[in-house]
């Protein structure tokens, strides 16, 4: 009886669950992101805590312009976060300053390379069409 009890304890060992916690997606922060492409196509993908919107789009073969390769030095990765902006990292000065350079910025604007997932809720993100001429 004691042996059986001990086995049960080991099976439900809290330390083991905590130790292996990151391995199991069911326990991780994973919401869904719906990316809307400029032509209206929608792609629903899994979000990944800590990753930028650009990284998640690229990992799922969704095209987002990124002329400066994610260095906050252009605005080609501009997206509009229609829902779930509270699931993203706070906007830092560099991103705000860069966004201030584009005339069509609005309160939904983020740079996909700078906005990182910090929650497990869902997002709706509209991708800008590629711009003609200068991309800055």
Residues that bind ligand FES (CB under 6 A): 66-68, 70, 72-77, 111, 113
CB of residue 69 to ligand FES, shortest distance in Å? 6
Strand (E) positions, the chain? 32-36, 42-46, 78-83, 109-111, 123-127
By beta-carbon proximity to ligand FES, the closer residue of 70 and 121 is: 70
CB of residue 68 to ligand FES, shortest distance in Å? 3
CB of residue 66 to ligand FES, shortest distance in Å? 4
> Is 92:110 a contact under the CB 8 Å cutoff?
no
Collapse the DSSP code of 23 into the 3-class scheme (helix H, G, I; strand E, B; otherwise coil) and give the result. Answer: helix
């Amino acid at each position: 009886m004691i042996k059986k009890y001990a086995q049960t304890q080991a099976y439900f060992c809290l330390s083991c669950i905590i130790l292996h916690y990151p391995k199991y997606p069911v326990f991780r922060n994973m919401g869904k992101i719906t990316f809307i492409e400029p032509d209206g196509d929608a792609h629903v993908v899994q979000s990944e805590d800590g990753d930028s919107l650009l990284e998640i789009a690229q990992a799922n073969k969704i095209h987002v312009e990124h002329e400066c390769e994610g260095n906050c030095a252009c605005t080609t990765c501009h997206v509009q976060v229609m829902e779930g902006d509270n699931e993203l990292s706070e906007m830092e000065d560099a991103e705000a300053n860069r966004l201030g350079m584009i005339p069509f910025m609005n309160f939904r604007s983020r740079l996909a390379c700078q906005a990182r997932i910090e929650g497990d809720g869902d997002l709706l993100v509209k991708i800008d069409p590629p711009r003609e001429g200068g991309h800055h």
